[in-house]
Amino acid sequence: MSIRLNEPALRQARALVRDGKVVRDEPGDWSEHAPTADAENRFVDAHGWTEFRHWYLGIDDDENPETKGAYSFPYGDLRRVRRSGVIAIESRAGQFDHDEIRDAAKRLLDLIDEGEP
């Protein structure tokens, strides 16, 4: 398994934050707002795999790109960036030595927090 940073997903996440499509929730809120398997399936059915992959900062090139197993580290609820999701990515990526993803999540979190009123 070779998980790397999904650059197009990071670009989308930054654009969403800049457009104000972000929820500045607390770290513990992620478990309630992370996409469920059913929500992911509905999203893929409605929008396709290309759009789906833009919601995950991790991508595994060894996996079939038209399976959910190819994507990890979701940063939002498939509509908006969730601060709690980005915090979860930073923590989990750090635990599993995905330093590039951890660092990208930290920069994304900084961008989110800069925009706070």
* pLDDT tops 60 at residue 117: no
Residue spans per domain, the chain: 3-114
Three-class SS of residue 59?
Answer: strand
Residue bearing tokens 């398997």:
37
* Average pLDDT score over residue span 36-42: 97
Output the pLDDT for position 7: 98
* pLDDT tops 90 at residue 1: no
* Average pLDDT score over residue span 23-42: 95
Helical H runs in the chain? 7-18, 30-33, 37-53, 83-95, 99-114
CB 14 within 8 A of CB 105: no
Q: What is the pLDDT of residues 46-91, one digit of tens each?
A: 999 999 999 999 999 999 999 999 999 999 999 999 999 999 999 9
Residue predicted with more confidence, 108 or 28: 108
Q: What is the pLDDT of residues 88-116, one digit of tens each?
A: 999 999 999 999 999 999 999 999 999 76
Q: Nearest-CA neighbor of 38 among 72, 70, 78?
A: 78
